[in-house]
Amino acid sequence: MPVITSKQFRWIEVENYGEMSRLAAAIFEQQLLSKPNSVLGLATGSSPIGFYEALVARFKHGNFSFQEAQSFNLDEYVGVAEANETSYHSYMERHLFSHIDLPVAKRHLPIGMTKNIHAECERYEQAIIQSGGIDLQLLGIGVNGHIGFNEPGTSFTSKTHVVELAEATREENAKYFLSKETVPTHAITMGIETIMNANQIVLLAFGDHKTEAIKRLRFEGISENFPASILKEHPHVTVLFGK
């Protein structure tokens, strides 16, 4: 497992998906052990499924608890009911919340079915601030470099906001829906500044389809055309990647 370290950025190339998942779960366990009332930033998608399995396994082992913690998810689709199996609310219930002791009132996701989207974005951003801020944020990366649903061109100073999903993202996410046409067109997402305000970030990227995005993240300069590139300005990032 070659580890390349620089002052701000830790790159860890993993042998396989299981190793990536276990390493990420170990970082979250450590976070909760050192600060039981941690504010955790969570993500959905295919990358973190093994991570949640590993985290739940560690939780069941009994070393730590989520009782005093709280969580904020990166994003949620607009116009998808929470109970719908394609919502990120449902995803979180399935992969994490139903298996751990995080109190219901402390599980936060943007409300995508709201009548007033802009007020919801503001409420969500304020709720993160009032929690004291995110201690540890989990991220995936889109093939186009998006983080959360912050598509290329998003301002680095963005806060929680509503976005129109890029074609590449709707194509990537079509596997969760009946067809690409039924993938929602909009989502509420933490902004790039919201993400950058987290104290620590762990980014997961696994598989051939992520190789190009990881290469760009490693070797290209910082640009709003590739949102993840701003992470290189963050003081504490671990990228777990492999194929």
Using the minimum distance from each CB to ligand PGA, give the nearer residue, 47 or 73: 47
144 catalytic? Reply is yes
Burial of 115 per CB tally in 10 Å (0-12, 13-18, 19+) = exposed
List 75, 120, 125, 172, catalytic entry: 75
> Of the listed pieces 62-70, 99-107, 121-129, 137-145, which binds ligand PGA according to CB under 6 A?
137-145
Rounded CA-CA distance 68/36 in Å is 6
Using the minimum distance from each CB to ligand PGA, give the nearer residue, 41 or 45: 45
Query: Radius of gyration over alpha carbons of the chain, in Å?
Result: 17
DSSP state of 107: E
Using the minimum distance from each CB to ligand PGA, give the nearer residue, 47 or 71: 47
Site membership for ligand PGA, residue 41 (CB under 6 A):
no
Site membership for ligand PGA, residue 47 (CB under 6 A):
yes
Q: How far is CA 175 from the centre of its chain?
A: 19
Site membership for ligand PGA, residue 45 (CB under 6 A):
yes
Please, which residues bridge with residue 147 across strands?
150
The angle subtended at Cα 205 by Cα 6 and Cα 62, nearest 5°, is 90
Instruction: Find the binding residues for ligand PGA in span 143-172 (CB under 6 A).
Output: 146
The angle subtended at Cα 184 by Cα 53 and Cα 224, nearest 5°, is 80
List 76, 120, 125, 151, catalytic entry: 151
**Minimum Å distance from CB 55 to ligand PGA?**
16
75 catalytic? Reply is yes
Beta strands 3-5 and 9-13: pairing type? antiparallel
118 catalytic? Reply is no
Site membership for ligand PGA, residue 141 (CB under 6 A):
yes
State the catalytic residues. Answer: 75, 144, 146, 151
Residues engaged in binding ligand PGA (CB under 6 A): 45-47, 140-142, 146
